[in-house]
A and B are shown apart, each in its own frame.
Chain A
Amino acid sequence: MNDVAPAALTAASYKSDYKPIWCPGCGDFTVLSAITKAFAILQLQPHQVGVVSGIGCSSRIPAYTTCYGFHGVHGRALAAGTGLKVARPDLTVLVAGGDGDGFSIGGNHFMHACRRNVDLTYVVMDNHVYGMTKGQASPTTEPDWDNKLAPGGTGISSYQPLVIALAAGASFVARAFSGDPNGCAEIIAQGIRHPGFSFIQVLSPCVTFRPEQREWKTMVRPAPVEPTDDTSVAARRILTDDGFNTGVLFSRTRTPYPHYRSGTGKRTVADLEAEFQL
């Protein structure tokens, strides 16, 4: 469902002049489109939005927007984004990256970001591969996917991002598909609106290293249920999920992590100094 809203800001307002270097056919193009549409739905001011990323093809995204971008180091986007949002709660902070950046080296930060519930929106463009380094397995890669670094496949069961997000206490858990940019935009907008940590796994095919992922568009479907705020209901659903249900799985109100000026004290530095005096 899409709104054709009279917009002072359109999706184009959030797109910079940098032409993305993603391969033609890459799902990330439409994720960029979805993110800009989401910003337009919410009529956010570009200069009041921070887009934070790590390293990888998807992590190139900040420079393709007209927002304040931060292209950090591999796996630490959530940490940088957390710092930014806690220090500057007035900004809207969107953290973006890929499955390698987010779930492998970034795995630890992912788990804790879910627990901590800072008001961030985390969009992971999941293509089940390390694209930028030419095709190694990522945590979400199938165990039997043959690649040079692990010939015959890693043999390791793949990471389940939504299961882990739920188990780690995330208050908004969703999945979207890059092939449905308008649907994806809606979910991202919901995630941004949600007060607290919103995690959205976006299935985003890699045309170069996983060409078979073109099939995803025949497998993806909207989940046949409404979002739930009951953890055990969500848990049952996600454990029988095949990885292709889109929509918001779980959304619950939980107080977001306070920002750095949330202390209520009215004391001054001089007051602190006085405490040292005998």
Chain B
Amino acid sequence: MANNQMRTSLSIALAGSGGSGVMTAGEMLLDAAAKAGLYGMMVRTSGPQIRGGEAAALIRLAQKQTVSLDDGFDLLLAIDWQGVNRFADEIPLSASSVVISDADEGEPPEVFKQSGARCFALPLKKTAKSIAGSWVNMVALGLAGTLSGIPTEALEAALRSSWKKTEEGLKANLAALHAGIKAAGGIDGFAPLKAGAQGSGKPWLITGNEAAGFGAIKGGVRFVAAYPITPATELLEWMSPALTKIGGTLLQAEDELASVNMVIGASYGGVPSLTATAGPGLALMAEAIGLAVTAEVPIVVVDVMRGGPSTGIPAKTEQSDLSFAVSGLHGDAPRLVLAATSIVDCLATTHWAVQLAEALQAPAIVLSDQFMGQSRAIIDPPPDAGGEGQRLTVGANTADYKRYRNTESGVSPMSIPGTPGVPYTADGLEHNEKGTPSSQAADHRLQLDKRERKLALYDYGPRWADIEGDGDLAVITFGSTTNAVREALARLKEQGVKARLIALRLLAPTRPQHLSAALAGVARVLVVEQNHGGQLYRYLRAMYDLPRTAAYHRPGPLPLRPGELAKVIAEWANSNVTEKVPA
């Protein structure tokens, strides 16, 4: 084997249709990798059929923790080629890639052959058929796992730990697994992964949706009202039994209007509450989020962004709800908007959102996306992000209680129903300090100032952005693109191109001083994001004084990859482009 440098990162695509079980095999591969001390992540892609459709598990395995996809795939293992053209552009191959397919399924499609990848044909289905009661995806698992360098013990352990059927079936599938392991010997010249470098703590296997749900619970959320919507439903399905276990409740509402209003009601009652949705649902919730702003009721709305606008592309990712999140409410309605930067960060950022919402008695929108929400990653146990949110409340029978009293911080002590002597009526109508509806100019001005001030003056600490690197160039981004940018910049650093990364976690309120400080010494900025309109670019230009700023953005569904971004950043770094970099 020439050039046999073992890899630090390896990307595998498992494709198949109609019951071939590639998703399950992918999950097991990820599990086996975790058991073998590796890191990695898995993205799913499939056709529009609910069952039997063409599907692919897109997996990246690495020595070190990774939560973004690589530029292409090193191995494409296809059980069959049916419908695979649908996601051919999600599986870029190169001449150094290897394609393994079933000998009885014909030649790989042209779109894969033209990459120059080396193609092998193996009797995958025949092998499985020869072992009674076994599935072909287990052959694929053994094959892909072994080629990746994952030890047999880890692969076996992954199968055993997820097996819920008969002992007989387990035996058969172990045999199929071993057949696949054996078959790997027939594939030459494929460099496996270096040994994993997991940290000391036991790693977690978690999706962004699960992480967000858990972060909410850690922040103290005990009531959720929600409506199913792709790609947020799994967050709700994880939270439902979890809440029951710890003494909370999830209520499936009739729609998003009900969901958000229920959450406001529960929070008014003193219980930290949350709902989760996607773009169309967030749009429905706009009026009520404004109510939460004016009545100063803390709520958290997780928006797992998907292809928009309107019904859009429900099962694919995009970062195109930013504009709506930061400015989609009628009236002057300041609210918190946060964006998780990775699958891992969904936990800490949702946790933080609950803490902030409670502390500031305001709604917080947490932007996640389908890529993070529905993908599973192997991660180090996340660091502790503090305790539950704390609400500033007022004691019983406090004299001269005014719910919306003007304070220096802008936060007024809140009365929780059940507390004697301090009743009030929360209102979406503008009000005076007591809470009585008012159309007076002075009251309106006071309350508007207060609601803005409470968010603007708060000390958010260092978590508002990840700021890494130095130099006079800076790349600003948010959400799941963060890791692709980070990887791109790491590659460029090796080539002598330096740029800072500023991944924004707190998108609203805007805090010009802090961004200016982060941009001290920066002569040019590139804003990178996954949407068509350059929403972050336009937002930053509107709200901040920036040095010369260019934009690179393109819409979903295809992810922004490190290689693509490295190229764009390098070109921009070496040029004098001040406008938009063509995507």
Contacts and interface: CB of A to CB of B under 8 A. Distances in A.
Interface of A: 21, 23-24, 55, 57, 71, 73-75, 104-105, 107, 130-134, 136-137, 139, 148-151, 154, 208
Contact of B240 (A74, A75, A105, A151): A151
Contacts of B236: 149
Interface in B218-277: 227-230, 233, 236-237, 240-241, 244, 250, 252, 254-256
Nearest to B237: A148
Interface centre among B49, B237, B244, B256 (most CB of A within 10 A): B237
B252 A149 contact: yes
Contacts of A105: 227, 254-256
A85 B53 CA distance: 37
Nearest to B255: A105
B311 interface: yes
Contacts of A136: 228, 233, 252
Nearest to A159: B254
Contact of B233 (A24, A131, A134, A139): A134
Contacts of A148: 237, 240-241
A23 B51 contact: yes
A176 B256 CA distance: 30
A208 to B, nearest CB: 6
A42 to B, nearest CB: 31
Given A74-B280, A151-B244, A139 B49 contact: no
Given A74-B255, A149-B237, 20 more contacts: A21-B47, A21-B48, A23-B49, A23-B52, A55-B311, A57-B50, A73-B280, A74-B280, A75-B255, A104-B254, A105-B227, A105-B256, A133-B228, A133-B229, A133-B230, A148-B241, A149-B236, A150-B250, A151-B241, A154-B252
B310 interface: yes
12 contacts: A23-B50, A23-B51, A23-B52, A107-B254, A133-B229, A134-B50, A136-B228, A136-B252, A149-B228, A149-B233, A149-B252, A151-B240
Interface residues of B, number: 24
Contacts of B233: 133-134, 136, 149
Interface in B82-98: none
Interface in B19-67: 47-52
Contacts of B241: 148, 151
Interface centre among B48, B50, B52, B255 (most CB of A within 10 A): B50
Contacts of B52: 23-24
Contacts, number: 60
Contact of B51 (A104, A154, A208): A208
A74 B310 CA distance: 10
A131 B50 CA distance: 9
Interface centre among B51, B241, B244, B255 (most CB of A within 10 A): B255
B193 to A, nearest CB: 33
Contacts of B47: 21
Interface centre among A105, A132, A151 (most CB of B within 10 A): A105
A23 B230 CA distance: 19
B50 A139 contact: no
Nearest to A133: B228
A149 B51 contact: no
Nearest to B233: A133
A73 B49 contact: no
A149 B250 CA distance: 8
A96 B359 CA distance: 46
A154 B250 CA distance: 10
A154 B240 CA distance: 12
Nearest to B281: A74
A137 B230 contact: no
Contacts of A74: 255, 280
Given A74-B280, A137-B252, A139-B254, A130 B50 contact: no
A223 B66 CA distance: 62
Interface centre among A130, A132, A148, A208 (most CB of B within 10 A): A148
A137 B48 CA distance: 21
Nearest to A106: B255
Contacts of B255: 74-75, 104-105
A137 B254 CA distance: 11
Contacts of A133: 228-230, 233
Nearest to A209: B50
Interface centre among A55, A104, A133 (most CB of B within 10 A): A133
A252 to B, nearest CB: 29
Q: Which 6 A-B pairs have the closest CB atoms?
A: A105-B255, A148-B237, A133-B228, A104-B254, A136-B228, A21-B48
